[in-house]
Amino acid sequence: MTEIFRNLPKVRYEGADSKNPLSFKFYDPDRVILGKKMSEHLPFAMAWWHALGNAGKDIFGDSTADKAFGAAETGTMEHAKAKVDAGFEFMQKLGIRYFCFHDIDLVPEADTLEETNARLDEITDYMLEKMKETGIRNLWGTANMFFNPRFMNGAGSSNSVDVFCHAAAQIKKALDCTVKLGGRGYVFWGGREGYETLLNTDVRFEQENIAALMRMAVKYGRSIGFKGNFYIEPKPKEPMKHQYDYDAATAIGFIRQYGLSKDFKLNVESNHATLAGHTFQHDLRIAGMNGMLGSVDINQGDLLLGWDTDEFPYDVYESTMCMYEILKAGGLSGGLNFDAKNRRPSYTPEDMFHAFILGMDSFALGLIKAAAIIEDGRIDTFVKDRYASYQTTGIGRKIRAGEATLEECAAIAVGNGNAPLPGSGRQEYLESVINQVFFK
Ligand code: XLS
Ligand code: NI
Ligand code: NI
């Protein structure tokens, strides 16, 4: 097999003083943090669609990058195999142990389902060989149910039962592939599960159908031996004006309403949380406190732009708060998928390396700083103490135990006279603690 990323080396940890652009400054896979290796805390994954599929096309202009990876023609099975070769070489050189895929990232879609499925069989055979050779594993698979024009009104939420059935067929095959490749999870990102206008939409009808499709997927997945988690990946908008899996809280409500809690968790994406008007940390917290933090799509949005820019993460405050939430939730059953792409003018193979080095170092720093915040203890102690009156008073304990009555609370208030002010929130002090932990 010929080397695709010629002149690009295996990237190694060289430490914060290194000036070598093709080295990790902070990601040191074997370094132990809070009793576990960095590489175990940070199960990084490569997103097939961005890393191998995205050549920089946007609505205003054509591709800037060459992602043929040596194939004579793109959109062919030869190209699909070249992507596999490139992907595995790339992951090995970066030390990435997982990948994520949509069905049609792997092979070009054919005119019939049978033909597309045959192509998927062929490519997954080829991928399996590479996986055995390299030890690289599948984090999750999914079906792309938003690109083809048939999905203009959604998949499970489509007004057309034929489209619903087509989506079912794609999910069935994507699950087959995920199980074949030993995937840890299966994702539903409701790309077009939403609406453009309520004037033509029966929201309840559509949501019931999405849930029905998910139930079928669970039943089929379990029947073929899929043991992993199903995930919903929330996103509030784009491509649709409104998407049903708006944010973590909404998706959790949906999962519970339709009895899917046993099989589903969330795949939280940073840029989606911010599009929903939350911080990334907020959606991670909501998922974590509900026992539903399964996997994470890591990327970064742009403060000034209102869409999913999918940048490689470099904001270390953000990655720190992400790792803080993950550590607090006891880790991930899934992983950290770089659902991120190079900026269009960064179009060379070397830029792909720089992007992953940036992202992996940002999360290594995030892990180091999150552990430091926890070890420092001032933040956690402050939060605990802030609610102390629920432990130190009889009525507080009764309220927490669900044994207090409204009359009892009211009587205590009368006895107190004017309610005293609660303790100060001390936000500025806490923010300065974070800066101190970061830069001391
Ligand atoms: C798009 C989503 C998508 C999912 C997988 O915004 O992030 O890439 O992760 O379908
Ligand atoms: Ni995503
Ligand atoms: Ni996204």
User: CB of 68 within 8 A of CB of 80?
Assistant: no
Alpha carbon 196 to chain centroid, angstroms:
25
Query: What is the helix, strand, coil percentage profile of the chain, to 5?
Result: 50, 15, 40
343 and 384 in a common domain: no
Q: Atom 4 in ligand 1: which residue has the minimum CA distance?
A: 189
**Is residue 75 situated within a structural domain?**
yes
Of all ligands present, the nearest one to the C-alpha of 272 is: 3
Measured on CA atoms in the order 378, 380, 382, 384, is the torsion positive or negative? negative
The pLDDT assigned to 203 comes to 98
pLDDT, average across residues 400-408? 98
Distance (Å) from CA 368 to ligand 3 centroid: 26
Contacts of 395 (CB under 8 A, 6+ apart): 404, 408, 409, 412
247 and 362 in a common domain: yes
Give the percent of the chain with pLDDT over 90: 98
> Comparing C-alpha atoms, which of 356, 368, 362, 319 is closest to residue 11?
356
| Domain membership of residue 419 as a residue range | 379-439
The pLDDT assigned to 420 comes to 84
pLDDT, average across residues 311-316? 98
pLDDT, average across residues 8-28? 98
**Is residue 395 situated within a structural domain?**
yes
Alpha carbon 376 to chain centroid, angstroms:
28
400 and 261 in a common domain: no
> Comparing C-alpha atoms, which of 203, 270, 196, 205 is closest to residue 238?
196
399 and 288 in a common domain: no
The pLDDT assigned to 79 comes to 98
Distance (Å) from CA 221 to ligand 3 centroid: 25
**Ligand 1 in reach of 339 Cβ (< 6 A):** yes
Per-residue pLDDT tens over the stretch 37-83? 999 999 999 999 999 999 999 999 999 999 999 999 999 999 999 99
Contacts of 101 (CB under 8 A, 6+ apart): 48, 49, 138, 141, 142, 177
**Ligand 1 in reach of 105 Cβ (< 6 A):** no
Mean pLDDT of the chain: 97
405 and 289 in a common domain: no
pLDDT range class, residue 418, cuts 50, 70, 90: confident
Distance (Å) from CA 233 to ligand 2 centroid: 7
**How many independent structural domains does the chain possess?**
2
pLDDT, average across residues 7-15? 97
**Ligand 1 in reach of 188 Cβ (< 6 A):** no
**Ligand 1 in reach of 189 Cβ (< 6 A):** yes
Q: Which of 50, 79, 102, 282 is catalytic?
A: 102
Per-residue pLDDT tens over the stretch 321-350? 999 999 999 999 999 999 999 999 999 999
**Is residue 12 situated within a structural domain?**
no
153 and 71 in a common domain: yes
C-alpha–C-alpha distance, residues 335 and 437, integer Å: 26
Residue 32 has pLDDT above 80, yes or no: yes
pLDDT, average across residues 246-268? 98
Q: What is the CATH number of the domain that holds 232?
A: 3.20.20.150
Cα dist from 259 to 285, 357, 425, whole Å: 22, 41, 38
Question: Of 374, 405, 431, at which residue does a domain stop?
Answer: 374
**Is residue 27 situated within a structural domain?**
no
Query: Which two three-digit tokens encode residue 324?
Result: 């803080």
295 and 330 in a common domain: yes
Contacts of 77 (CB under 8 A, 6+ apart): 107, 108, 119, 122, 123
Residue 408: what are its φ and ψ, rounded to 5°? -60, -45
170 and 42 in a common domain: yes
**Ligand 1 in reach of 142 Cβ (< 6 A):** yes
pLDDT, average across residues 19-38? 98
Residue 1 has pLDDT above 80, yes or no: no
102 in active site: yes
Distance (Å) from CA 193 to ligand 2 centroid: 15
**Is residue 19 situated within a structural domain?**
no
Residue 170 has pLDDT above 90, yes or no: yes
Residue 141 has pLDDT above 70, yes or no: yes
Cα dist from 13 to 90, 100, 281, whole Å: 16, 24, 28
**Is residue 385 situated within a structural domain?**
yes
C-alpha–C-alpha distance, residues 94 and 350, integer Å: 12
DSSP 330-343: T--SS-EEE-----
168 and 123 in a common domain: yes
Question: Of 354, 374, 394, at which residue does a domain stop?
Answer: 374
**Ligand 1 in reach of 245 Cβ (< 6 A):** no
Ligand 1 atom with the smallest distance to the CA of 49 is 8
pLDDT, average across residues 201-223? 98
**Is residue 9 situated within a structural domain?**
no
Ligand 1 atom with the smallest distance to the CA of 297 is 9
Q: Which of 105, 263, 297, 310 is catalytic?
A: 105
68 and 122 in a common domain: yes
Question: Of 351, 374, 397, at which residue does a domain stop?
Answer: 374
pLDDT range class, residue 419, cuts 50, 70, 90: confident
**Is residue 43 situated within a structural domain?**
yes
Cis peptide before 420 (omega within 30 of 0): no
358 and 279 in a common domain: yes
CA angle (107 as vertex; 71, 333 as ends), nearest 5: 120
182 and 209 in a common domain: yes
